């Protein structure tokens, strides 16, 4: 006599597994976003130090600072979107459990 997992339960377990994989991927992307922000802030700090040592280069450096802040802003948005994705994936798991 062999016992098998009902199809609904098997499908639900597969969905939970996919949800967990989504959360794991989203957390990895979030970590990359935080690393990007950290790197960008370090870059801003280096640029500001360089400007303070060379006042005659300020006009050249301002566009670089502007671009660096834009990259930081994009990285912050990436982390925010990833957090939203994690939240959605976590919401999917209880819904899937409820289907069982």
**Would you say 89 and 8 are in contact if contact means Cβ atoms under 8 Å apart?**
no
The whole-angstrom separation of Cα 74 and Cα 36 is: 9
**How many Cβ atoms sit within 10 Å of the Cβ of residue 72?**
18
pLDDT at position 1, please? Answer: 47
pLDDT, greater one: 99 or 24: 24
Report if pTM > 0.75: no
The whole-angstrom separation of Cα 79 and Cα 22 is: 15
The average pLDDT across 14-35 equals: 73
pLDDT at position 6, please? Answer: 64
Kindly list the domain boundaries of the chain, sorted by start residue. Answer: 7-99
């Amino acid at each position: 006599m062999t016992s098998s997992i009902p199809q609904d339960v098997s499908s639900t377990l597969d969905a939970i597994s996919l949800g967990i994989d989504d959360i794991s991927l989203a957390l990895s992307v979030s970590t990359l976003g935080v690393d990007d922000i950290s790197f960008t802030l370090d870059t801003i700090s280096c640029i500001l130090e360089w400007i303070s040592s060379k006042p005659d280069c300020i006009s050249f450096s301002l566009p670089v600072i502007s671009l660096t802040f834009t990259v930081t802003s994009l990285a912050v948005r990436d982390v925010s979107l990833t957090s939203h994705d994690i939240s959605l994936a976590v919401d999917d798991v209880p819904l899937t459990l409820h289907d069982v």
